[in-house]
């Protein structure tokens, strides 16, 4: 029977539903979903429904309080899976009933899997509630999850049952899974890291919860046209999301604008303004080989129904009628809306505050419920850990204080202490533009109460800085305050200015007293009366001069006055450092830069607050599920699949790296994965490439510091040299390569979009050059996301991680590539440093300047001392010759020229590192010709990935920052 014509019978009876429910328990009982209600909550639970004979013996069917017995039995076979899928196709319809086509098969299958997740999910949180465990809450603006179906059934160990069931229904599991759109909740490494962390938290049984926003359109869907990148709205929610459950009973008020008033009791109240509602959507996150299933709670925004202006609508003013509704809804339309305009900045800030406020209200409600009638707020940090993933959730700090002080009635000292012990901050960047700064005026307008709180925190910090550095040396103090204050270019509080003036007056008086001291060496003892009078007059004149020159008030004012020509800003990263109890970088070199450069003054003040937590990736998704053939080989040669939980076991591959049998199997799997890429590229781009070529890949967010520009200029240099050679010389000199790019340029990042256009133009020229043929291909893969990465990474042989040293915090794609046996070419930046140490220097292609050299090299350029490499000049001239089309690349090439100026002077050192880069690429060609040694290098890269599991990272967070322990369900 053709799958597309397979009809689901309309006569699915209660007996077939019973078959579904029977698969979830033992042979003698059935289970159904019911709602359990209590005064404080309403949630899904699973209860036993006994037979009539059993009910005679039981007063009440036992609820799953003894969860272990029931959950251990949840291993349905293919027959019960078929019944479950049929049930959802019939009774949870997202499509018309006539046909069972691929989209419908996916939704029914996903809903079938979700049933089992809900059981574990409820059991997990019922148990957490019961024992009142300390819980970690991870707040992130991004979660780049990818497809959920294969990950869920893989973690539940049900892939075989579902594959067999779908085969009997006429479909392949992979085809059904391919119908799932990637969840458009993230963009780059920040979001993918957050998703890996959730997987590891669940797998390791840590009590944790993720919070984010439910973006309707995500970032954007990327189209690659003759004009380069074009953006259209992402439609991932168009057909609904079978993994989420809307919690209409869980919603919280969010306020913007308004004003702050003070009551008779002295308590502040934020009133008026614009009110919206944040509604919870929950997504279950299953652990691997464990019953623990944690939650990702996403917030969507709306307004109350009464806000809709029915009178205006009936009067024909429809725009006015739903104006408030649209204002609320658009908060969750787009990830990172353009912030060039004031409106764009306002929307971004609204997004960040919505995430923080709704999440904290939810966390506090849970804490109060678990505490019972007597709430001890001092125990809040003992039960709650809040991790801010980058600076986007910084408003957690003033928001938590606001709730504790204004709503719960705590004192400032109590609330400030609780907040500092609860919140922690992960820094992900050293780039100045990524260390968020918000306009004080915008914050004041949108969140007036929070600005009051931030001012109080800033005042606390100023006191600490003055105690640390004193008030004698005003220039030193000014420099420290300039670097460390939360409020940038904003006058010091008047009380602090008065203190500094008094300090200077005291110093001045002490200085004058010393000069007049008759016992001092400088004292003069004249005997002549006229001489005495003369000296007195001179001393009086001197005091007047000193008074004029060093009037303390004028001196303090002149040093600490703000610059009216510069904006007044709030530095969110500084607020994170001050307001939290821990700050961590995400790779060793990054954490060193954070301590030595970015936050050096804070590090000197609070050295114990700063930590390193090198990022990791989940080996389940990024090896077992996306590269199952290689995973089988690893399991075979290491003796078990324990490496999926304990990646330290991967090091055992090292002793087999020279084994010819392993190498043969390894190459066979790599070729199989390369052929999948060939098919994928043909489908997505129309290009046909040879699987025998080296697959050279750079897939990541398009940014100047990541230097996709250097990669494509290296390709241009390669192409130019090929054109200057005979066919025989080309084949002798160059290894065939397929150079793949993927990644999104932010919609308003003009230079990044120029780079995308340049790559596509170079590809269009080279790929249609008959002289070059399969010796070189250049392809930009459109709309890069997790699912694309899962295809490209397993078949990649060389991966480029070539950022300017000191600018990439960590990177996680480098770990994914190495884990899949791909060899890296890169700089000593981010996690590259640690990867190279683990895989071995001989198995990593290194080039480029080191991080400690960058500042000196930029200075050298600014002073006009840099000497250009003739090969780089040759490449630029070749580009400008028009060989790649009529597009004007003067702006792009111009950014690499000159000695100073915004957008010029090669800030990211492409030209400086270019000679080293192309020479390193020649070594790559040479190494690839020796396939035996290349395969050994590939095996050693996988073996060296043992320390780059997100499981290891999460263990460190749990131990060093969150102070939580694993909780195993009974």
Helix (H), strand (E) at residue 269: strand 268-271
- The full DSSP string for 907-956 is TT-HHHHHHHHHHHHHHHHHHHH-HHHHHHHHHHHHHGGGG-BHHHHHHH
Find the distance separating the first CA and the last CA of the chain, reported in whole Å. 45
Sign of the C-alpha dihedral computed for residues 817, 823, 825 and 829 taken in this order: positive
Query: Using the 8-state DSSP alphabet, how is residue 641 labeled?
Result: S
Contact 931, 939 (CB under 8 A): no
Q: What are phi and psi of 249, to 5 degrees?
A: -85, 0
For residues 323-339, b (16+ Cβ closer than 10 Å) or e, as one string?
Answer: ebbebbbebbbbbbbee
Q: For this structure, is 203 an active site residue?
A: no
Check 707, 757, 816, 936 and give the catalytic one: 816
Interstrand relation of 823-826 and 798-801 (parallel, antiparallel or unpaired): parallel
Nearest residue to 834 via CA among 820, 854, 818, 848 = 818
- The full DSSP string for 304-333 is -GGGS-HHHHHTT-HHHHTHHHHHHHGGGT
Check 86, 392, 428, 730 and give the catalytic one: 428
Q: What is the dihedral of CA 76, 80, 83, 84, to 10 degrees?
A: -10
Burial classification of residue 661, based on how many CB atoms lie within 10 Å of its CB (0-12 exposed, 13-18 middle, 19 or more buried): exposed
Q: Give residue 32's Cα distance to chain centre.
A: 38
Angle, CA of 754, 756 and 757, to the nearest 5° = 65
Helices (H) and strands (E) in the chain, counts: 40, 24
Q: How far apart are CA 156 and CA 291, in angstroms?
A: 8
- Block residue for tokens 């249609």: 768
The runs of H, that is alpha helices, within 330-473 are 342-371, 380-383, 396-402, 412-422, 440-446, 448-469
The C-alpha R_g of the chain, in whole angstroms, comes to 32
Q: For this structure, is 700 an active site residue?
A: yes
**CA dist 533 → 524, 539, 544 (Å):** 13, 10, 17
- The full DSSP string for 745-800 is --TT-HHHHHHHHHHHHHHHHHHT-TTTGGGEEEEEESS--HHHHHHHHHH-SEEE
Q: How far apart are CA 886 and CA 884, in angstroms?
A: 7
Check 291, 297, 609, 701 and give the catalytic one: 701
Q: What are phi and psi of 523, to 5 degrees?
A: -70, 140
Q: For this structure, is 502 an active site residue?
A: no
Contact 913, 849 (CB under 8 A): yes
Q: For this structure, is 428 an active site residue?
A: yes
Check 485, 703, 706, 754 and give the catalytic one: 706
Helix (H), strand (E) at residue 213: strand 208-213
Q: For this structure, is 816 an active site residue?
A: yes
> Hey, which residues does 826 pair with through a beta bridge?
801, 846
Angle, CA of 596, 813 and 788, to the nearest 5° = 150
Nearest residue to 949 via CA among 642, 698, 667 = 642
Query: Using the 8-state DSSP alphabet, how is residue 2 labeled?
Result: -
Q: For this structure, is 297 an active site residue?
A: no
Q: How far apart are CA 62 and CA 121, in angstroms?
A: 19
Check 21, 124, 812, 953 and give the catalytic one: 812
- The full DSSP string for 862-921 is HTT-----HHHHHHHHHHHTTTT-S---HHHHHTT-SSSSTT-TTTT-HHHHHHHHHHHH
Q: Which two tokens stand for residue 577?
A: 């450092």
Catalytically annotated residues: 428, 700-701, 706, 812, 816
């Amino acid at each position: 029977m053709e799958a597309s014509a397979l009809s689901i019978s309309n006569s699915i009876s209660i007996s077939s539903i019973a078959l579904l429910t029977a698969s979830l328990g033992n042979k003698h009982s059935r289970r159904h979903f019911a709602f359990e209600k209590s005064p404080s909550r309403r949630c899904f639970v699973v209860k036993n429904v006994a037979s009539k004979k059993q009910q005679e013996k039981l007063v009440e069917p036992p609820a799953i309080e003894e969860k272990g017995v029931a959950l251990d039995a949840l291993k349905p076979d293919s027959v019960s899976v078929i019944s479950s899928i049929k049930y959802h196709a019939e009774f949870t319809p997202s499509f018309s009933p006539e046909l069972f086509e691929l989209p419908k098969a996916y939704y029914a299958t996903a809903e079938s899997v979700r049933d089992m997740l809900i059981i574990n999910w409820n059991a997990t949180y019922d148990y957490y509630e019961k024992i009142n465990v300390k819980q970690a809450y991870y707040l992130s603006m991004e979660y780049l999850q990818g497809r959920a179906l294969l990950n869920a059934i893989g973690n539940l160990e049900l892939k075989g049952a579902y594959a067999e069931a779908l085969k009997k229904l006429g479909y392949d599991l992979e085809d059904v899974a391919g119908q799932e759109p990637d969840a458009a909740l993230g963009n780059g490494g920040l979001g993918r890291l957050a998703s890996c962390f959730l997987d590891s938290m669940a797998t390791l049984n840590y009590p944790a919860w993720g919070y984010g926003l439910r973006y309707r359109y995500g970032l954007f869907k990327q189209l690659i046209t003759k004009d380069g990148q074009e953006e259209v709205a992402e439609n991932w929610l168009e057909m609904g999301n079978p993994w989420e459950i809307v919690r209409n009973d869980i919603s919280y008020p969010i306020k913007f604008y308004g004003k702050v008033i003070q009551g008779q009791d002295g308590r502040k109240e934020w009133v008026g303004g614009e009110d919206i509602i944040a509604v919870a959507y929950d997504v279950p996150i299953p652990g691997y080989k464990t019953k623990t299933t944690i939650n990702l709670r996403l917030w969507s925004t709306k307004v109350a129904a009464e806000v809709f202006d029915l009178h205006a609508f009936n009067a024909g003013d429809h725009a006015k009628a739903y104006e408030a509704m649209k204002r609320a809804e658009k908060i969750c339309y787009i990830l990172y809306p353009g912030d060039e305009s004031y409106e764009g900045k306002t929307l971004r800030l609204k997004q960040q505050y919505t995430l923080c406020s709704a999440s904290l209200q939810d966390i506090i409600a849970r804490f109060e419920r678990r505490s019972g009638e007597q709430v001890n707020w001092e125990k809040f940090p003992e039960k709650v850990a809040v991790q801010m993933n980058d600076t986007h959730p910084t408003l957690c700090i003033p928001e938590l204080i606001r709730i504790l002080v204004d709503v719960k009635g705590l004192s400032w000292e109590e609330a400030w202490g609780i907040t500092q012990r609860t919140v922690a901050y992960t820094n992900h960047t050293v780039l100045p533009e990524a260390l968020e700064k918000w306009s004080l005026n915008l914050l004041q307008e949108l969140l007036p109460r929070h600005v009051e709180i931030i001012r109080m925190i800033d005042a606390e910090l100023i006191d600490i800085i003055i105690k640390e550095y004193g008030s004698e040396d005003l220039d030193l103090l000014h420099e420290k305050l300039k670097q460390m204050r939360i409020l940038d270019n904003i006058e010091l509080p008047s009380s602090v200015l008065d203190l500094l003036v008094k300090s200077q007056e005291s110093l001045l008086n002490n200085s004058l007293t010393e000069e007049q001291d008759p016992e001092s060496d400088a004292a003069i003892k004249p005997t002549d009366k006229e001489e005495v009078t003369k000296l007195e007059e001179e001393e009086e004149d001197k005091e007047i001069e000193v008074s004029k020159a060093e009037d303390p008030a004028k001196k303090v004012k002149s040093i600490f006055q703000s610059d009216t020509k510069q904006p007044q800003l709030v530095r969110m990263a500084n607020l994170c450092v001050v307001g939290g109890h821990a700050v961590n970088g995400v790779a060793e070199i990054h954490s060193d830069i954070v301590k030595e450069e970015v936050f050096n003054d804070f590090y000197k003040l609070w050295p114990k607050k700063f930590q390193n937590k090198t990022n990791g990736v989940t080996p389940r998704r990024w090896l077992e599920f996306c590269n199952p053939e290689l995973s089988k080989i690893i399991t075979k040669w290491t003796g078990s699949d324990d490496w999926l939980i304990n990646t330290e076991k991967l090091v055992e591959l090292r002793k087999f790296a020279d084994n010819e049998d392993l190498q043969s199997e390894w190459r066979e799997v790599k070729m199989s994965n390369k052929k999948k890429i060939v098919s994928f590229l043909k489908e997505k781009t129309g290009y046909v490439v040879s699987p025998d070529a080296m697959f050279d890949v750079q897939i990541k967010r398009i940014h100047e510091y990541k230097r996709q520009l250097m990669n494509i200029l290296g390709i241009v240099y390669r192409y130019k040299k090929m054109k200057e050679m005979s066919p025989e010389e080309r084949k002798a000199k160059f290894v065939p390569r397929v150079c793949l790019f993927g990644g999104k340029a932010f919609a308003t990042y003009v230079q990044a979009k120029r780079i995308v256009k340049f790559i596509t133009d170079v590809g269009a020229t080279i790929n249609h050059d008959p002289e070059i043929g399969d010796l070189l291909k250049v392809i930009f893969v459109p709309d890069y996301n997790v699912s694309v990465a899962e295809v490209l990474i397993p078949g990649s042989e060389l991966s480029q991680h070539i950022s300017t040293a000191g600018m990439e915090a960590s990177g996680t794609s480098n770990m994914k590539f190495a884990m899949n046996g791909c060899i890296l070419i890169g700089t000593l930046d981010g996690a590259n440093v640690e990867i190279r140490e683990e895989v071995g220097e001989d198995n990593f292609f290194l080039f480029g300047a080191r991080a400690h050299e960058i500042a000196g090299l930029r200075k050298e350029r600014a002073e006009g001392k840099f000497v250009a490499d003739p090969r780089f000049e040759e490449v630029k001239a070749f580009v400008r010759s028009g060989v790649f089309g009529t597009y004007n690349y003067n702006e792009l090439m111009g950014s690499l020229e000159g000695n100073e100026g915004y957008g010029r002077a090669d800030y990211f050192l492409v030209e400086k590192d270019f000679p080293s880069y192309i020479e390193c690429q020649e070594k790559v060609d040479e190494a690839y010709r020796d396939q035996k040694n290349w395969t050994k290098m590939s095996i050693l890269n996988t073996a060296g990935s043992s320390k780059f599991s997100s499981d290891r990272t999460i263990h460190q967070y749990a131990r060093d920052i969150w102070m939580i322990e694993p909780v195993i369900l009974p």
